[in-house]
Structure 1
């Protein structure tokens, strides 16, 4: 009676075994072929090929290390600035003298945080997007289309998006008195540096040339941003902390977050592959990078615009908004899953991230509306 059942089960396991064997053979075939080819070559060719293989193994080992080890990453990084101890807005004259002594003014926390975010990306860490091995991908496949080694690059690009937006706003509005002053050349240089390609390496093949790397160009922005704060400290630069400037800045950030929310929604609604969605991780970590960057920049903005915030009585709303940004940074899953919203095995991290972004954006718009009254 049981013989047919036993035979059926044995057949299933036998089929599974044959399938696994075929897969393993398919994976090992190119390596076995390469080893046979290598064994039949001459000594000189063996040495050359062996050296190339060893070099590639070392390079990929170092590349994996660069992508997996994150220096300076700290969701509570805002605490180190002790912003609550800064009592005056950016550009505030701390001393006045009739004796010719240079004036001392308050520096900008936004500029300081922005420069430090760039420093984390290109000095404390390697800028992944311009790495040759990252651009080569996995056997020609873009790393963003795989579930491996792209999280750090996506996070860096998300942070970089916040830096680019902030550098534009600093040049066009925050660091000039509208209608009566020109663009600050120091900040303009920083903005131009941050608009540079995210994937530039020492050699470019199309068109061929030897351009500056992304990493070196972004370092220029660090220098110029810190130079601006030095100018501001000596009252040789301007920071215009008017309510309409802050309002426009919040508008731009809200639009930025809205675009990212739409990207997350589109991926979440149209792809429900759970742990097997290979693009879910880069979408998630790009959004995380944006939240990470804007958390610090908006915390700094509270100090730089402290006079306006006190005048408009939005301090409590601002605190609540920052709490939403910080809460979103608590989500750090080891494996990003893009499952169904009603699924019970595979979670939906993209929908969760989108929810936090919309909640933070909603608080941001509420602050903006109060400022506009």
Structure 2
């Protein structure tokens, strides 16, 4: 009585097994053919090809390791900074030394954090976007258009966007007495370095020839920023911690975050394919990296502009701003999903991140409105 049913399911499982076997055979066939071809070649060709294969496997191993291992990644990194003394950067302090009174100034926390963020991106970690295998993509497909191995690159670019915006503001406003005064050369060099493109490797085609890779330029930015801070400590340069400069700085950061929030919104509305949206992960991690960078920079801003913040009563607003950053940086899903906003199986992580970004931006706009009164 049960024999027909047992035979039916037996045939189904046999067909499934044959299908799996055919699929595995189709996948392995090119490798088996290459192995047979390789064993029939001469020893010189074997040595050359074997060396090339070992190098390629090593490169992919190195690439995979660096995309997965995020050294010193810490969303609460800003809490470890102790900016002292608690006064506006560049404020002169008179010390009694063996040779009499010596005038010194305080380093800028903003400059310190910006330099440390670049160091985190290119020295403590490998800069992914300019690696040759990242540039080659997955069989010619840009890694950003795949769900694989692009999260760290997007995060690093987000952090770097915060550094780039900060460097521009340091040159244009904060590091000058007024808009018509001379630009500090160290800050100008730092801005030029961090504005270099993100994808240059040691060799390029346009123009053809050897090149200086992107991380090398960014490392010179670290040197320039730290040199500026050393000179600031000696009162040789200006850090203009005025209310109007703070207002401009906060406004530019709010605009930068607003632009990224708009990108998240458009991606969420036009490509809500749940777990199958291959661009959702890099959009999410770029936004996360941007907030990661600005969290430390704005933490330092509170110290650099302490006199202004205290005078205008911005302390409670700044506390709230810190809380918004901390809440946003707690969102670290294992798999990024860009589903419908009312979905319960495939949630919309982009919408969630966009919501937190708008909360941060709203706080910054409120700070700016208080400074404008």
Interval of TM-score (by shorter of Structure 1 and Structure 2): over 0.9
Matched, 1:134 2:141: no
Within 5 A, what are the aligned runs for 1:292-307? Answer: 292-307=292-307
CA distance in structure 2 between the aligned counterparts of 1:170 and 1:192, rounded to whole angstroms: 12
Q: Is the 8 A contact 2:92 2:106 kept in 1?
A: yes
1:57 CA displacement = 0.8
Residue 253 of structure 2 is matched in structure 1 by 253
CA distance in structure 1 between the aligned counterparts of 2:195 and 2:366, rounded to whole angstroms: 30
What stretches of structure 1 move > 4 A for 4+ residues in a row?
1-19, 99-102
Residue 114 of structure 2 is matched in structure 1 by 114
SS in 2 for 1:277: coil
Point out the more displaced range, 11-20 or 294-303: 11-20
Give the count of matched residue pairs.
371
**1:177-223 deviations in whole A, cap 9, x for unaligned?**
11452111110001001111111121112211222111111111111
CA distance in structure 2 between the aligned counterparts of 1:257 and 1:9, rounded to whole angstroms: 58
Point out the more displaced range, 203-212 or 222-231: 203-212
SS in 2 for 1:95: strand
Residue 45 of structure 1 is matched in structure 2 by 45
1:7 CA displacement = 7.2
TM-score w.r.t. structure 1 length? 0.93
**1:123-163 deviations in whole A, cap 9, x for unaligned?**
11111111111111111111111211111111110000000
Within 5 A, what are the aligned runs for 1:1-373? Answer: 13=13, 16-83=16-83, 86-95=85-94, 102-179=102-179, 181-373=181-373
CA distance in structure 2 between the aligned counterparts of 1:179 and 1:146, rounded to whole angstroms: 45
Using a 3 Å threshold, how does the CA distance of structure 1 residues 134 and 249 change in structure 2: closer, same or farther? same
TM-score w.r.t. structure 2 length? 0.93
CA distance in structure 2 between the aligned counterparts of 1:10 and 1:365, rounded to whole angstroms: 68
SS in 1 for 2:93: strand
Q: Is the 8 A contact 1:102 1:234 kept in 2?
A: no
1:276 CA displacement = 2.1
Q: Is the 8 A contact 1:109 1:301 kept in 2?
A: yes
SS in 2 for 1:124: coil
Where do 5+ consecutive residues of structure 1 fail to align?
A: none
**1:21-60 deviations in whole A, cap 9, x for unaligned?**
4433332232222222212222221222112111111111
Point out the more displaced range, 308-317 or 267-276: 267-276
CA distance in structure 2 between the aligned counterparts of 1:196 and 1:147, rounded to whole angstroms: 27
Q: Is the 8 A contact 2:155 2:286 kept in 1?
A: yes
Using a 3 Å threshold, how does the CA distance of structure 1 residues 8 and 343 change in structure 2: closer, same or farther? farther
Where do 5+ consecutive residues of structure 2 fail to align?
A: none
CA distance in structure 2 between the aligned counterparts of 1:30 and 1:260, rounded to whole angstroms: 44
CA distance in structure 2 between the aligned counterparts of 1:296 and 1:12, rounded to whole angstroms: 60
Please, what is the CA RMSD of the aligned residues?
2.1
Using a 3 Å threshold, how does the CA distance of structure 1 residues 3 and 346 change in structure 2: closer, same or farther? farther
